[in-house]
Amino acid sequence: MKQVWIVDDDEEMGHAISLMLKLLDCETKHFINPRPAAQALLAGGRPDMIVLDINMPEVSGLDMLEFLRRRKEWKDLPVIMLSSEAADVMVDKALEMGADGYVMKPVTIDELEKVMSQAFYKHIMK
């Protein structure tokens, strides 16, 4: 069973994504902001994937993505960005920074499953 961490300051959205992921046979852990997720990683935790909201107070999802991609031990960790922002500039920036996928809120289970499959496949083929 895959372990997926959700980092989203919106508790309702985090809960909804967690339910979808459980239907996709994943275990989940929800973090309200990136700091506790980063601390869990630094303490040795390692999910199979992170679903990361872009717009959060204090530390943005892009800041967290940059943190992940600068460390060699997490460069290969699949990360899917989640946002209500549809601007191509934001999508392109996240993908250029190393995100493996991008889904728009509100997300459907089919869309989430498709992007997750693509992200896992991308990392298997590296």
pLDDT of residue 84: 85
pLDDT of residue 122: 79
Percent with pLDDT over 90 in the chain:
83
**How far, in Å, are 92, 93, 94, 100, 102 from residue 87 at the CA level?**
9, 10, 11, 17, 12
pLDDT of residue 126: 60
Average pLDDT of adjacent 10-residue blocks, the chain of 126 residues: 96 96 97 97 97 94 96 94 83 93 94 95 72
Domains and CATH numbers, the chain: 2-124 (3.40.50.2300)
**How far, in Å, are 18, 77, 84 from residue 66 at the CA level?**
24, 12, 20
pLDDT of residue 46: 96
